[in-house]
Every structure is written in C-alpha cells, then in structure tokens.
C-alpha cells in the first residue's frame, strides 16, 4: 500500500490522537482540592483519554506497518438508502444552510427562518418543483408552530423588529396566546 | 401470582385514554418511520422525545416503546414488496421476501412476516415479564463494583457488536465517555473541559446529543449520499395480506421456536440490537434449518427467522433497561433518556415502590397490546406504505431536520442547544463518513456518569484496590463476560471469512444502532 494511502487512512485517527493529547493536558490542569489517598475528578477523564490515545496509536501503527484493512469496504455496506452516489458537497452545503438557520433563528423568528430553511434544504437535496416546494415550506412551519406552541407549549423564537410582527400576526391567526 | 395481578393492573392502565392514545400514536409513528428508507425507528424515538417533556412518565415511555416495537415490523412491507429495506434489520427479509414477491406470492410473504412479528413479540414479552422480578432481585444485590462491571460489560459488548471495526466502535465509545465528563464534577465541584464557557458548566444535554447524532447527522449524511428517488409509484391494489394456514406454521415450528429463543436471549445482550438479532437468526436458520439449502430463494423460513428475531429483541432489551438501568441499544438509550428527563432512574428500586411498580407493569403490558395492535394495523398498512413512498425525499428530509432543531430547542428553550445540536449533527456526519458507529458514543454519553461514579465509589470503598472487580463473584463474572465480548470481534472475523467462503455474508454492518 502506498504511503499516501496509509497517511490518508490514518488521518482521522491522527486528529483524534491530537485531540486526546490536548485534552489530557487540560485534564492535568483540572483544579480541585486533593484528598490524600483518594482519586480526584481528573482520574476518570485521564483513564478515558489514555485509552483513546492508546487505541489511536494502535490503529495508526496497524495501518502504517501492516496496512490494516479498512473499517468497512464499500462492498461490505448494506444496500440501505444507498442513494445515488457521492454528493459530499451537498452535505457540506446542508451543514452551511443549517448553520445559517441557527444564526438567523433568533433574528428572523421561527416562521420566516424555517420557511427559508425548508426551501433551502429541499433545494440542496435537488428538489426543483417550485409550487410544492413553496407550499411545503410555508405549511410545515405553520403546522409546527401550531403543534409546539398550542399543544406542547414550547415558546419558539419570535424574531426581532418586523419579523417579530410577522410572528405575532401569525400566532393571532392560529389562536395561540 | 403477584406478577400476573400487577400485569393485569398495568393492562387496565394501558387502556386508559391517555396511555392508549399514546400507544396508538407510537405504533403509527413507528410504522411510518420504519418504511422511510434512512429514517428508521431510532430516529422515530428520538423525534418523539421532545413531545414527551410535558407528559407524565407512563404515557411518555409507552409512546417511545410503541415506536420501538412497531418499528421492528413495518419495514417488512418495503423490503418484501419493493426491495427497499427501511432499516438495516430488514435486509434479510428481502432475500426471501422479495423472491416470493417476484413469484407472485407477496401477500403470503407479508402474512408470514405478520405472524412472525406477532409470535416473536408475544413470546419475548411473556419471557420478559417472567424475568423482570428475578433480574431486579439480583440487581438489588449490586454494589458499586457490580454496577461498574455491568456497565463495563455493556460497553465492551456494544463496542464488539456495534460496527464492523472494533477499534472504531471503541474510539466512538471513548469519545462518548469523555463527552460525559464535560461540566462541573459533582464530588469536588471541579470544572472539567468547560473551556470557560458557562453553557458547558452543567454538562451537555444528552437529548440534544442524541437528536444531533442520530437525527441531524444521519440526515446530512443522506443528503451527501444523494437522496434516492422512487422510480414508479407502486400500486396498493395489487397486494394484500394472506395468512399462512396452521398446518403451514406447524411445518416450520422449529424455526419459530429457535428464532423466538434466540431473539429474546440476544435482546438481553447489550449491543445486540434488532439488526444483529435479525441477521443472526437468519444465519442460524441458514446453518440449522430443515430447508437451509433453499434459503434466499423465497421460502417462509427466510422471512420468519429474521422477523421474529428483530421483534423479539425489543422485549429482551427492555429487561436490562428496566431492572438495571442499562440500555443495550440506541432506541433503549433514548428511552432511558426519557426516564431520566422525568427524574426517574430505572433500576431495581422501580420494582419496590407500588407507584413505580405500576408504571413498570403498564409499560410491560403495553408491549403485549402494542404487538397485537401493530399486527392489526399491519393488515391495512399497505395503503399508507404507498402514500409515504411518494413523498419527495428532499422535502421529507428538510421537515425532519426542522423537527430535530426544534426538538433540541424545546428541551430548555435555549438557542445554545440549537448550536449544540448543529455541532453534534456535524459530528454525526463525520462519524458516518469515517465509519465510526454512533451507538457506542451515545451509550458512553448516557452511561458515562454511572460508570464514573461506580468506579470512584469502588476505589474509595476498597482503598484503590482494582482487583475487587475480579474478586466479587458477580462483578468477576461480568468482567469475564466482558473479556468474551472483547474476544468476539476476532471470532467474528474468522466466521465472516468462513461465511464468505460459503457464499453468503452475515454482516450486520450498521448493527447495534437500533
């Protein structure tokens, strides 16, 4: 196996290894009043992190020395929701849309932000039928607001400024007080 | 006698309006999510969790348990009729089920699946009721070393069973255990890994972690795989359900008995979720069944064995959850989360107070009613299957993603939780990408505090003598079982090679999740 391939397959374990080392460093600096002969609050995290460190070193060693087989090769995968191929860029786009949604939620309020989010995610998921998309994007948040605010009593974000006014009007229409 | 009268009282509770409505709702949700490829029963349980915040504990657990039990059954429709496994556990069903459909025997195949689910569900529920008291009595003798050993056994077995790679599963578990240490330590009030952020002082809410990893992360992964499209809408008028005759059932009675026993026993083992049970039941049938040579070519045994196995495992999983507070699968981890949200720690003490005892027996009784209810619903479910399969996947995914975010927010009405779910959604996506199973991490998060506290208590009580875990009979046995669990991946690899050489593969790759 080429060194480049081995390095690529070791990358995830190397990242976890680095995190484990850093977290162990933090664990050594946990502040507490030590009681002689008694394990402190740093003991358990240190055990966990040492095991994590050792497991990553073991796996990286296996890959670098023996070229250990991958965790699961493509032909071992079950044909469950196999999809149509590799669309990693769409997944990254979906993450981006979700981050923007989380940021805008307190500003635009639940209704406006969710209309945009559903439309955005469905579009990222390659759905292109405009009328059903618009209808779903509007109806779904309204239904969720009704269920969560009227039945489950969860106060969803109202938004600020004009967006708050939109939410208030919608709540009045739905009979949510 | 006491057990039967308690079960009878529980049955009366189940038929009270609130419990019954939650049971029916749970069955509907479970059957709906399990026919949607990629959603699955764990996500169904996770998505329903936020709705239980303001419920009483009994209807809340009944709702989640009903989703769990019916989720193991309804996937047979899409697997048998359209060769679409809604869940990994449904894959063995399509090998013989779809072959029967191709021969024009779809209705009969669905009938076999229904009878199998009914048999497996009822038998394992009965066994569970019988075992609940002995298990809880044994659990009452548990001290800190025994509890730690039990949790340790749970950890090792789920790491051994949850994924194709033991190393990846073990890393996943350790990450979960580390996440559980975030926050202010209860004994010393020391801040651990809070990075100076007040939001981390109280630790990370495990409900948000569950929804993020199982819900948001899985949906992002699905988008990354390209959402599948249904080529042509199936015709529900073409298919019904046709029951096998008693004589036909009698002919394969050995399969029924074998798979029921196997499903119930494997269900008790932490980590052996419905998926693994389904695959192993099929594998055992392939090795010991009377018509093993015809398996895979459309014989009822190929449907009955995995269906019984997966449904029977539900009741098996509920035993360690209710008696020890130890979940053995993703779905039971969520159910444990629901218990804890309501301030109730499942364990042997549940069986000691009359108030909590009736709650437990109501949950147990709801399994019997749920199994029968799901089979009744299954008779008419084909029409719903057809409708659900025509919903555009991108729209469905978008709505479910909103559900995940709202579910996280609803826990504490906090935007911080929305950000936490986004972080864990991305982490879930990365786990899937790099083939780290999610179930060990989730169990690590939920059971981490129990593992740590029992470990520390043992060390304090026995002057830091770690050999106490080996010297106490119960904990020593459990540690021994843990070593067996750790050896299992090696045996599995050897058996996997043998199975491949024999021409079929026993491969619950995504196992342990459900």
pLDDT for res B497 = 62
Name residues 6-25 of chain A within 8 A of B (Cβ).
Answer: 12-13, 16, 23
Give B496's pLDDT tier (boundaries 50, 70, 90).
low
Per-residue burial over B81-102, b = 16 or more CB atoms within 10 Å of its CB, e = otherwise = bbbbbbbbbbbbbbbbbbbbbe
Per-residue burial over B116-143, b = 16 or more CB atoms within 10 Å of its CB, e = otherwise = bbbbbbbbbbbbbbebbeebbeebeebe
Mean of pLDDT values over B287-292: 82
Q: Tell whether the model's pLDDT for residue B327 goes beyond 70.
A: yes
Residues A156, B190: C-beta atoms closer than 8 Å: no
Q: Tell whether the model's pLDDT for residue B139 goes beyond 90.
A: no
Beta bridge partners of B351: none
Q: Tell whether the model's pLDDT for residue A79 goes beyond 90.
A: no
Is B225 an 8 Å CB contact of chain A? Answer: yes
Task: Report the range of poorest mean pLDDT among A42-46, A67-71, A142-146, B465-469.
Answer: A67-71
Residues B405, A140: C-beta atoms closer than 8 Å: no
pLDDT for res B37 = 62
pLDDT per residue as tens digits for the range A121-164:
999 998 888 998 999 999 999 998 888 888 777 788 999 999 99
pLDDT for res A77 = 38
User: pTM of this prediction?
Assistant: 0.81
Q: A153: which 2 tokens?
A: 């009593």
Show the CA angle centred on residue B258, arms to residues B253 and B261, nearest 5°: 125
Q: Name which residue leads in pLDDT, A35 or B417.
A: B417
- Can you give the length of chain B in residues? 514
Mean of pLDDT values over B317-335: 84
Percentage of residues in chain B having pLDDT higher than 90: 20
Q: Tell whether the model's pLDDT for residue A2 goes beyond 80.
A: no
Show the CA angle centred on residue B226, arms to residues B329 and B273, nearest 5°: 10
Residues A71, B50: C-beta atoms closer than 8 Å: no
Q: Name which residue leads in pLDDT, B384 or B408.
A: B408
Cα separations in angstroms, B70 against B308, B309, B484: 13, 14, 32
Q: Tell whether the model's pLDDT for residue B509 goes beyond 60.
A: no
Shortest CA gap B239–chain A (Å): 23
pLDDT for res A53 = 96
* Cβ-nearest to A44 among B181, B393, B403: B181
Q: Tell whether the model's pLDDT for residue B267 goes beyond 60.
A: yes
Q: What is the ipTM of this complex?
A: 0.90
Could you give the CA distance from residue A142 to residue B50 in angstroms, rounded to a whole number?
Answer: 18
H/E element, B183: strand B183-184
Residues A98, B174: C-beta atoms closer than 8 Å: no
H/E element, B190: none
């Amino acid at each position: 196996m080429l060194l480049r391939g081995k390095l690529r397959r070791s990358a995830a374990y190397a990242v976890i290894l680095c995190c484990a080392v850093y977290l162990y460093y933090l664990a050594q600096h946990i502040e507490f009043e030590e009681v002689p002969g008694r394990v402190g609050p740093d003991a358990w995290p240190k055990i966990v992190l040492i095991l994590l460190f050792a497991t990553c070193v073991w796996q990286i060693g296996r890959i670098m020395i023996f070229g250990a087989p991958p965790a699961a090769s493509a032909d071992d995968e079950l044909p469950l929701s196999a999809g149509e191929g590799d669309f990693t860029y769409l997944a990254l786009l979906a993450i981006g849309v979700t981050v923007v949604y989380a940021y805008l939620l307190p500003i635009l309020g639940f209704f406006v932000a969710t209309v945009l989010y559903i439309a955005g995610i469905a579009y990222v998921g390659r759905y292109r039928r405009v009328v059903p998309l618009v209808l779903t994007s509007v109806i779904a948040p309204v239904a969720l607001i009704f269920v969560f605010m009227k039945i489950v009593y969860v106060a969803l974000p109202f938004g600020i400024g004009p967006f708050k006014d939109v939410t208030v009007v919608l709540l009045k229409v739905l009979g949510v007080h | 006698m006491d057990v039967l009268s308690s079960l009878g009282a529980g049955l009366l509770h189940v038929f009270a309006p609130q419990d019954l409505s939650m049971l029916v709702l749970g069955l509907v949700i479970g059957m709906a999510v399990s026919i949607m490829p990629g959603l699955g029963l764990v996500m169904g349980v996770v998505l329903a969790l936020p709705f239980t915040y303001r419920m009483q504990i009994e209807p809340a657990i009944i709702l989640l348990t009903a989703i769990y039990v019916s989720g193991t059954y309804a996937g047979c429709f899409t697997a048998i009729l359209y060769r679409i496994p809604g869940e990994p556990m449904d894959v063995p069903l399509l090998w013989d089920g779809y072959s029967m459909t191709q021969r024009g025997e779809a209705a009969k195949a669905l009938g076999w699946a229904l009878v199998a689910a009914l048999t497996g569900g009822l038998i394992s529920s009965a066994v569970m009721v019988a075992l609940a008291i002995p298990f809880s009595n044994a659990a009452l003798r548990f001290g800190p070393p025994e509890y730690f050993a039990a949790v340790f056994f749970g950890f090792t077995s789920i790491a051994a069973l949850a994924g194709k790679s033991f190393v990846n599963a073990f890393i996943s578990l350790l990450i979960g255990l580390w996440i559980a240490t975030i926050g202010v330590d209860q004994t010393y009030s020391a801040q651990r890994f809070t990075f100076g952020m007040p939001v981390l002082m109280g630790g990370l809410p495990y409900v948000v972690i569950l929804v993020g990893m199982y819900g948001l992360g899985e949906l992002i992964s699905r988008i990354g795989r390209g959402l599948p499209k249904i080529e042509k809408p199936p015709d529900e008028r073409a298919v019904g359900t046709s029951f096998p005759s008693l004589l036909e059932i009698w002919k394969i009675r050995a399969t029924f008995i074998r798979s029921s026993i196997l499903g119930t026993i494997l269900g008790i083992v932490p980590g052996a979720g419905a998926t693994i049970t389904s695959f192993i039941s099929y594998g055992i049938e392939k090795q010991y069944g009377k018509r093993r040579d015809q398996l895979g070519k459309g014989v009822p045994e190929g449907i009955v064995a995995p269906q019984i196995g997966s449904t029977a495992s539900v009741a098996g999983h509920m035993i360690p959850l209710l008696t020890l507070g130890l979940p053995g699968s993703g779905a039971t981890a969520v159910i444990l989360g629901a218990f804890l949200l309501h301030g109730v720690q499942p364990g042997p003490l549940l069986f000691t107070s009359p108030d909590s005892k009736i709650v437990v027996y109501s949950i147990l009784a709801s399994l019997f009613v749920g199994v029968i209810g799901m089979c009744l619903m299954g008779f008419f479910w084909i029409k719903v299957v057809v409708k659900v399969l025509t919903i555009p996947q991108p729209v469905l995914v978008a709505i479910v993603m909103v559900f995940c975010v709202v579910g996280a927010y609803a826990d504490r009405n906090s935007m911080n939780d929305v950000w936490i779910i986004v972080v864990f959604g991305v982490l879930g996506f990365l786990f899937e990408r790099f083939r780290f199973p999610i179930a060990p991490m989730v169990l690590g998060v939920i059971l981490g505090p129990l593992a740590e506290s029992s470990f520390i208590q043992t060390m304090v009580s026995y002057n830091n003598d770690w050999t106490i875990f080996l010297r106490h009979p119960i904990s020593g046995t459990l540690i021994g079982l843990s070593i067996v669990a750790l050896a299992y991946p090696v045996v599995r690899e050897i058996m996997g090679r043998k199975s491949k050489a024999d021409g079929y593969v026993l491969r619950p790759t995504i196992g342990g999740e459900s």
